[in-house]
A and B are shown apart, each in its own frame.
Chain A
């Protein structure tokens, strides 16, 4: 510890602290622009100059290390003179166009100029003008306002991992710009808007939407990925104007992914449902709630009476709230059916009944940074989990070694030390090879349950390298990504990954696809093995009545377009959704407008098992109503005791108990007695499907700005160069992809990240929905 005196106050700081950190600790505000606690130190704005005893010149607080016995004055005459001098320089070429600047009212330069700026400028020459840059559909630029603090440059390089911005030219001509003819494509780009201390980078979708002081700030939780980022939703006139991060060091830190930040646009989409609708004689008519609810309740009653409760099924999106998920299963189970599921993109359910608890990350998110080895199995990590990937990226700088087994790799913008790239059907045997390697390294006899399978395992050098990497760690983790969970042999991958983690003494985790991928299990929105149908079964052969909560089955399930055919055969399909869709108008009989996350109270349980409750930030649009209330009323109409709740807190209490926490005992990744399915080596083409970041859920799909990004481009079929040669088709050709479910016509391109013998084609897109299953055999024909 070092002793330091700041503005007369004594304190002790850890070795290696900077004066800025010490000043923050003692509550002395040192003005600054380029300094940011999460970014590297640039010391270029010079605003934080302070007086240091014995130093002949003022020193920048951000970059000056504390020495023992140092005396610092942050507001002495020398310090303030230096700070004012810098402020004058910052303002001479700044346009001072605050009245027409979107940053006005929340601008660091504006705020600090009140304290440190002059009344009138001494600079009367022409000011610098800098041409604006095209940074894509999310970030708007007014580069003349830029003060060259390089926070955005450092963010993209250090946090997003992508060197996309830089400072070109020199001196007064210096400009921040992307590479020539390029925009920025990181999925974390919105953070540079927050970081920009002036109005150079502002939000394009929000542009001129409101003044900072006109909006109320409400807390919320992101409904998208499994991290559960904390949000500040800003509203004006009962409308969501924009979304900003709510700092939570244990989850999203001070960042947000672009999906979390910009998807709010969908809340005002023209496709929002504002009134209940009923289809009569093939015609849709708007109805009042009483009629619509009556219709659903009666429908359920009559189906139960005529066909038995087992002919009713409910599918709920994992982006639904915990309360919605709970009440959905309560309604279904109250009627006597066991058909309820939220694991829509999953295709292998053979681990059901063998699980110890809800699959979860196996560790708190905040501990990711202390891992030293990580083995990721089946994941499009960077796009599936942008901010968890960011944590791994930072940990990798401190020595975390990442290995991965994947049928298709994207650039994760972090070093993947061992990348094993095999076709989906070979993933299980690769895991077996890793396990074999681990057993060999341990030098002990194998005492687990897969001795027989292990005897037949191959020895691949790449698998051995992964085994060596995991075994060499002191804090290792093995994680299953979304692709592994959606895999056709998910149970086998799970069991083997679990065994690998056990032998390697690593933490075992499932990263989870959606905001409530853990919550769905906690709310019991899963069938009990043998007593109900899972998602795949419900969509494989038609039931008589379906309740669909917050999903678009052709895009959100593994069944793809075939789901529509199944649903078309049902007697009653009740859709609970915030959005209208053309497909739903076809298969549905009644559509109930339920409120999205900003208009309802609810709870999400994130990947680490943290239950985060939130309140509505605005009133429901039109006659939309919170899903939990709608379900409760239907339950009441059906006379179901399990739905008789008074408030959302009441629902929550039923799921989580009085404390509002997920009991640790309910979380558990262990599966027992899974029969391994090791596929024989195949030469047939297999599909690999990613769920592109902005197609993943109904809200993201309707955000206009996100849909203009390169991540939302029309899906193309990707194959490796060798596979291209094998099938004899050139990159760029239009091809017809045929699966057992259907066929699609897409463009074929070369992608060396895809394993040999595979075709990567995104799921969750209208264009690719006819193909159905996310993996399985496909064939390619030239068209």
Chain B
């Protein structure tokens, strides 16, 4: 954990997840300020808009704008949901936020509840990190006991309660409408949109869903102002962002850096490519983001716009680094298998297509590829993309398209020679370091 930012900074003490430690770091000051000064909801939303905070879950949608969609005047229940179902391979930032700084998320959600006129929120935490879920429950209890959550927060007439809900390990439940279905106790399957959650969300009521990191950024924005947050990053890409760097680097981990930091700097912070090897490729935004070859990546800065210009997505900020010992076909095979296993099975193109993609990549990797397999992969991905209920179909297709686009030679070699362009012993050499 290295931080040049706001969420993971100051977390080098003991038991940083405790309320006392959070308060020592200025925690709940933002909420106290709102309650004391009776700051109007509109002002909070415009502050968030000013900060240029963009959704940290992957899509990068401007948070302030999302909040303004919520029909404040809607009578009856409205909900806020926090998406901590961090299932994207390569992503492990929300886990650390909840582990070491859970109160930042709670404070962010209470402020969101205040701004959007909601009295109830849910934090959906994915199933594999049960101890984190338990820790979050403890934090909720602390906050309730301190009067920071529940009825009449800090003696005001504002009430907001928050509940943790843990999933059971389905990747699809990170899709926001599947997440809502799961909270409702149904099978986690995305809903067709429209209607969008802002009008028909949890239990059919208006609901706003944000990522853990997004909520964790809110207290700073309120405390220091939207401009201060924006200034941390660059225009249209406000603030700092957590990057989960994994793969062939010397020091994998979470790095919180200002948006706009050059990729090369991030790579350096992560200790550079292991064994001093050459960088081959990087998936800059989690497994569903298109892969970029080293040459393109080294010219990018870590922000939404630059990565997008480079041909990929900043996504959830999971930076998967691959060095020259990597077989790109094998890497894609693993990714395709993930999507094949995680498709919810609801709609046809994804249910049938992800299995097809995996099987074709699998046969190429295993020396059974056919000359027209690359055309087939491109055609099948084209038939999936944009035809599905949710974005999983796109997520499964983009890696395939980008791997074939940037590393087509390697695939062609596999098909023609029935073996890998990267000799097996070189691959093994690479893995040995990995094991160490």
Contact = CB atoms under 8 A, between A and B. Distances in A.
Q: Chain A: interface secondary structure?
A: loop
Interface in A30-54: 41-47, 49
Contact of A171 (B187, B342, B349): B342
B172 A170 contact: yes
Given A86-B349, A89-B348, A89-B349, A65 B354 contact: no
A89 B351 CA distance: 9
A58 interface: yes
A88 B387 contact: no
Given A65-B194, A90-B348, A172-B345, A125 B356 contact: yes
A89 B349 CA distance: 6
Contact of B387 (A49, A125, A172): A49
B186 to A, nearest CB: 10
A139 interface: no
B383 A93 contact: no
B340 interface: yes
A86 B351 CA distance: 11
A171 B343 contact: yes
B125 interface: no
A148 interface: yes
Interface residues of B, number: 31
B126 to A, nearest CB: 15
A747 interface: no
B387 A46 contact: yes
Interface in A139-193: 147-148, 166-167, 169-174
Interface in B326-348: 340-348
B284 to A, nearest CB: 24
B356 A92 contact: yes
Contacts of B343: 170-172
Q: Is the interface of B mostly helix, strand, loop or mixed?
A: helix
A170 B359 contact: no
Contacts of B192: 41-43, 60, 63
A123 interface: yes
B168 to A, nearest CB: 11
A43 B389 CA distance: 8
B345 A170 contact: yes
B376 interface: yes
Contacts of B275: none
Of A46, A57, A125, most B-chain CB atoms within 10 Å: A46
B386 A58 contact: yes
Given A57-B387, A58-B386, A122 B170 contact: no
B370 to A, nearest CB: 9
A143 to B, nearest CB: 14
B236 interface: no
A171 B348 contact: no
A46 B350 CA distance: 10
B174 interface: no
Contacts, number: 95
Interface in A85-119: 85-86, 88-90, 92-93
A57 B389 CA distance: 12
A56 interface: yes
B388 interface: yes
B387 A45 contact: no
B356 A171 contact: no
Contact of B386 (A42, A57, A63): A57
Contacts of A169: 345
B352 interface: yes
A506 interface: no
Contact of B352 (A60, A82, A89, A122): A89
B192 to A, nearest CB: 4
B172 A44 contact: no
Most buried by A among B187, B351, B388, B389: B351
Given A46-B387, A58-B387, A170-B343, A85 B172 contact: no
B353 interface: yes
B355 interface: yes
Interface in B346-389: 346-356, 359, 363, 376, 382-383, 386-389
A46 B349 contact: yes
Nearest to A64: B194
A170 B338 CA distance: 13
21 contacts: A41-B192, A44-B389, A45-B347, A46-B387, A58-B386, A63-B192, A65-B194, A82-B383, A86-B348, A86-B349, A86-B387, A89-B352, A92-B356, A128-B355, A170-B344, A171-B343, A171-B344, A172-B340, A172-B343, A172-B352, A172-B355
Interface of A: 41-47, 49, 56-58, 60, 63, 65, 82, 85-86, 88-90, 92-93, 122-123, 125, 128, 147-148, 166-167, 169-174
* Shortest beta-carbon contacts, A-B, top 7: A174-B345, A85-B383, A57-B386, A171-B343, A89-B352, A43-B192, A172-B355
